[in-house]
Structure 1
Amino acid sequence: MAGATKSSLAIVVFLGVASSSFAQEPPYHREIRDLKATVLDLKATALDLKGLPSDLNSAVSDLSAKAGGLAARHGGLSVRHDATTVRLSMTGDILFDFDRADIRSAAEPTLTDIARLVASVPAGTIVIEGHTDSKGSARYNQELSLRRAQVVAQWLVRHGADKARLSVKALGDTRPIEPNTLKTGADNPEGRALNRRVEFVMPKQ
């Protein structure tokens, strides 16, 4: 009888210890639960971002992708970017007649979309650079690139751009993106056409 009582006590003690150990939740269960909560928080944040106003959406979107989409919709545009800026380049032959600084009416739809892109940049200065090919003197090319950059900046201001955030730079023929002449010394009209351009340099945020 005494032996049975001892056995019963042992079983009770074992069950008590077992139930106590099962009551302690394993650490990995808590980690899984915390991870699920984090995922739910991230989903809620994503839903909140979808409801942001369009101007704030523009501020958090990828400027490089937006500029690339613009280049895909309009001929004569190309995009280059580095760690701090996005450069949207528009060929001068679309913007201007030969040796002129008056914007062609055919270029205005493209400029309208560029103006929207410029307005979407949340902060910083947008630099408008004028570039030419190597035909003519360096001084003349400098003056022509300045007049062209100024005319484009003025057009943007008339169409809603903030004048205080625009800066104009004239670079003439000093920064070609393609050779103006071939290795043989012959003229390279395709390269010169690409060098005649206006670039919109926008800061990444």
Structure 2
Amino acid sequence: MIKLSRYSFVSFTLIMLVTGCANNIIKNSKSELYGILNSKGFSVKETDSSILIYLPEISFAFDSYVLNERAYDRLFIISEVLYNPEMVSSSINVEGHTDSRGSDKYNEKLSLLRARTVAEALISSGVNIDRITIRGFSNKHPLVSDETQEGGDNPEGRAQNRRVEIAVVFAEESAPP
């Protein structure tokens, strides 16, 4: 089922690229990228040098790095924006995370696998591989606690921490002389 879905995703992407539907004209501007992603329903944050894209719909089952159909749909929208040739001065960090269950070594590997899975989806949609860096953060940057205030298990919190985030990093512009 997953392989069929992945092939369908790639076929759809190729059709969109050939027909020119994926080539939105945007300027190389963080604020414009922020506005475009925000208007498409993404949770985004602008920093001094990047746009951070939070993807709550791209969470992973425990001990998994497999994407669901909703995730592929959302990643296609992101890749449609990032594919634009005018975005070439930006690099893309795909950052994988885990919950706190498991050893540090295992979670490091799993977080990298999650990031790689998302990066592969972006690449299959036309984003240049040379722009993408994958990073695994294991359980070092949780969104919420994996435990309740009483010290019990927090399955909803653990689920939120099994995620991937995307940072679009813009090249430093040199100041005019």
User: Does the alignment reach a TM-score above 0.5?
Assistant: yes
What's the offset of the Cα at 1:149?
A: 0.6
Kindly provide the CA deviation profile for residues 139-165 of structure 1, in whole angstroms up to 9, marking residues without a partner as x.
111111101111111121111010010
Does structure 2 retain, via aligned residues, the 8 Å contact 1:97–1:104? no
* SS in structure 2 at match of 1:168: strand
Matched length: 146
Does structure 1 retain, via aligned residues, the 8 Å contact 2:24–2:80? no
TM-score (normalised: structure 2)? 0.72
Higher relative contact order (Cα pairs below 8 Å, separated by 6+ residues)? 2
1:65 paired with 2:35, answer yes
Cα-Cα RMSD:
2.3
C-alpha distance in 2 between matches for 1:184 and 1:83: 38
Matching residue of 2:62: 98
Q: Which runs of 4+ in 1 moved over 4 A?
A: none
TM-score (normalised: structure 1)? 0.63
Give % identity: 32
Matching residue of 1:34: none
Matching residue of 1:140: 106
C-alpha distance in 2 between matches for 1:151 and 1:160: 15
Matching residue of 1:109: 73
Matching residue of 1:184: 150
Kindly provide the CA deviation profile for residues 24-79 of structure 1, in whole angstroms up to 9, marking residues without a partner as x.
xxxxxxxxxxxxxxxxxxxxxxxxxxxxx953x34346222222223x2xxxx532
Kindly provide the CA deviation profile for residues 103-133 of structure 1, in whole angstroms up to 9, marking residues without a partner as x.
2233211110011232243412110000111
Once the two structures are superposed, the pairs formed by residues 26-175 of structure 1 within 5 Å of their partners are: 54-55=24-25, 57-60=26-29, 62-70=32-40, 72=41, 78-91=43-56, 94-120=58-84, 121-175=87-141
Q: 1:124 to 1:204 in 2, by over 3 A?
A: closer
Does structure 1 retain, via aligned residues, the 8 Å contact 2:58–2:164? no
Q: Give the AA of the match of 1:68.
A: N
Q: Give the AA of the match of 1:194.
A: Q
What's the offset of the Cα at 1:204?
A: 4.3
Which ranges in structure 2 are unaligned for 5 or more consecutive residues? Answer: 1-22, 172-177
Which ranges in structure 1 are unaligned for 5 or more consecutive residues? Answer: 1-52
C-alpha distance in 2 between matches for 1:155 and 1:143: 19
Stretch of structure 1 that moved more, 59-68 or 112-121:
59-68
* SS in structure 1 at match of 2:149: coil
C-alpha distance in 2 between matches for 1:78 and 1:137: 30
Q: 1:68 to 1:116 in 2, by over 3 A?
A: same
What's the offset of the Cα at 1:87?
A: 0.9
Does structure 2 retain, via aligned residues, the 8 Å contact 1:128–1:199? yes
Q: 1:180 to 1:80 in 2, by over 3 A?
A: farther
Matching residue of 2:3: none
C-alpha distance in 2 between matches for 1:167 and 1:177: 22
